[in-house]
């Protein structure tokens, strides 16, 4: 126990707790970030097979966000939005090969400047080949590229690279607990960001979980066969790296394969994806138990989330990037008794975004806000409700020549409607059919209403609102994007898969 907490207990018993807050009042922050985790890949979000009791415990003692979304469903852009609260076009990380600009503010750097000890351990995933120490962190452990599920080569604080034997999830959890143990005698609050590789492809569960879901049958989703009213590019994608008839991240060796027996490869892929998350849940339990044993649990803002969602066969697609809900929606669970009593947990239905993390964490920690952010703090939303909370927001994704399987995407999501358009990139008319879904009546986005006469006035309204949201986020510039070069069948370079 920190000396400060011994003093806190003594002061409370005597009734002499000081009325003025000091830096030591501030909560610790534990921020656990998974990679490519769908929002429904938690039992507290209703998954019928995947059981995550440790993450569920956070929800049972805190806040479960039912409608949390990324603003670009791609790892590096979304991670950058988490750090700085900006859209991808604003921070400049619009692909998986660009690092976060070192001159841009982040919430870790702000906390560090106000007395926090800060650490990042695990998958950074911005700047593919750069594993150097990043600004804002006193302790920084990462690796180049994606890392491996077994025996990853890590680098600590710009030191020598070293292969650390073991399963990735377990290794980084060990590192995180070791680092927190080193803070036990400090009176300074700490920020720990723990970046997991799981459940990113290629999926390799820990040995004890390799067969955990072998009894579960996993067919293609029904929407994989409901493509007649969808844009043609979705059908064109079926046999590619990001389609259900493609290689399925090496789970299928001969492709394209649209046979009924080919579904077994899809089944094995999804089982392995789920298996990696069982180890993540174990990790959350270990972090929770450590904080409890050291008396820090209730003085810690504990956040569990992911960078983006993932399509598991919906609309015939795998991977992310698109404007459909499985790609956009991500898990978010928060535990902090100062905001929400563990005896009275809450569920938040409002739409929250990756853009909101920086503002929320800094406000809860009593730190100054960043000079510019496009997100909002959800402190008031979860503590007392916020009648002025957003009811719509926009999504952006730019075509990638390295992964030519998804067009440019601009989408508006309101509390009731989803409107998706696919700009060509040169200002000419869109070449792909747009999409319109009633999310209240059709949450699985099965029926594209874009061509129905009765909704044409609504389409005009939603397009205008989308343009307004984009302009609000780009007040001094045009919405620039690359030219859509079309859906292509070649596989991506092995080094960047």
pLDDT at 495: 85
Residue 59: pLDDT above 80?
A: yes
Q: Using a pLDDT cut of 90, give the percent of the chain over it.
A: 93
**Vertex 125 angle, CA 397 and 33, to 5°:** 90
> Does residue 446 have a pLDDT over 70?
yes
Mean pLDDT, residues 260-283 taken together: 97
Checking if the pLDDT of 342 tops 80, the result is yes
Q: For all residues of the chain together, what is the average pLDDT?
A: 94
**What percentage of the chain has pLDDT greater than the value 70?**
95
Looking at residue 298, its pLDDT comes to: 98
Q: What is the mean pLDDT of residues 280-296?
A: 98
pLDDT band at 10 (very low <50, low <70, confident <90, very high): very low
Q: Contact 410/468 with Cβ under 8 angstroms?
A: no
Q: What pLDDT, in 10s, does the model give residues 382-413?
A: 999 999 999 999 999 999 999 999 999 999 99
pLDDT at 3 (0 to 100) = 42
Asked whether residue 19 carries a pLDDT value surpassing 90, the answer given is no
So what's the pLDDT on residue 24?
58
What is the pLDDT at residue 25? 83
pLDDT mean over 300-319: 98
- Gap between the terminal Cα atoms of the chain: 44
Q: Is the pLDDT of residue 17 over 50?
A: no
Is the full-model pTM beyond 0.75? yes
What's the pLDDT at 202? 95
pLDDT on residue 128: 85
């Amino acid at each position: 126990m920190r000396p400060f907490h011994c003093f806190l207990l003594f002061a409370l018993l005597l009734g002499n707790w000081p009325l003025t807050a000091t830096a030591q009042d501030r909560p610790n922050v534990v921020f656990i970030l998974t990679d490519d985790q769908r929002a429904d890949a938690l039992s507290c979000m209703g998954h019928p097979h995947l059981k995550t009791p440790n993450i569920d415990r956070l929800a049972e003692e805190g806040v479960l966000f039912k409608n949390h979304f990324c603003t670009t469903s791609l790892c590096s852009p979304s991670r950058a939005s988490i750090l700085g609260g900006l859209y991808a076009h604003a921070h400049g990380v619009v692909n998986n090969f660009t690092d976060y600009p070192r001159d841009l503010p982040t919430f870790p750097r702000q906390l560090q400047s106000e007395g926090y000890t800060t650490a990042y351990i695990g998958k950074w995933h911005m700047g593919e080949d750069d594993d150097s120490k990043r600004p804002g962190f006193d302790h920084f452990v990462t690796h180049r590229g994606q890392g491996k599920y077994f025996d990853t080569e890590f680098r600590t604080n710009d030191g020598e690279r070293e292969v650390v034997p073991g399963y990735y999830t377990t290794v980084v959890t060990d590192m995180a607990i070791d680092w927190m143990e080193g803070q036990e005698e400090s009176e300074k609050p700490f920020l720990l960001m723990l970046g997991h590789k799981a459940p990113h492809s290629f999926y390799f569960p820990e040995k004890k979980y390799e067969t955990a879901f072998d009894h579960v049958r996993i067919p293609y989703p029904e929407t994989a066969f409901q493509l007649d009213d969808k844009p043609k590019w979705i059908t064109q994608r079926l046999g590619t790296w990001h389609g259900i008839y493609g290689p399925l991240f090496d789970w299928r060796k001969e492709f394209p394969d649209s046979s009924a027996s080919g579904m077994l490869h899809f089944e094995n892929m999804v089982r392995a994806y789920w298996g990696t998350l069982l180890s993540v849940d174990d990790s959350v339990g270990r972090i929770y138990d450590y904080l409890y044993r050291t008396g820090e649990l209730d003085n810690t803002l504990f956040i569990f989330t992911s960078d983006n969602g993932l399509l598991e066969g919906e609309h015939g697609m795998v991977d992310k990037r698109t404007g459909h809900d499985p790609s956009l929606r991500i898990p978010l669970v928060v535990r902090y008794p100062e905001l929400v009593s563990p005896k009275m947990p809450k569920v938040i239905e409002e739409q929250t975004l990756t853009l909101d993390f920086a503002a929320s964490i800094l406000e809860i920690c009593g730190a100054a806000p960043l000079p510019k952010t496009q997100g909002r703090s959800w402190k008031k939303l979860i503590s007392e409700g916020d009648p002025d909370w957003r009811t719509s927001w926009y999504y952006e994704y730019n075509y990638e020549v390295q992964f030519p399987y998804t067009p440019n995407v601009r989408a508006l999501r309101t509390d009731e409607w989803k409107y998706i358009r696919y700009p060509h990139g040169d200002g000419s008319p869109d070449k792909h059919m747009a999409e319109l879904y009633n999310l209240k009546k059709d949450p699985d986005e099965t029926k594209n209403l874009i061509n129905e006469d009765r909704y044409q006035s609504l389409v005009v309204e939603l397009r205008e609102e989308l343009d307004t949201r984009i302009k609000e986020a780009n007040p001094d510039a045009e919405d620039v994007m690359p030219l859509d070069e079309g859906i292509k069948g070649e596989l991506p370079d092995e080094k960047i898969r």
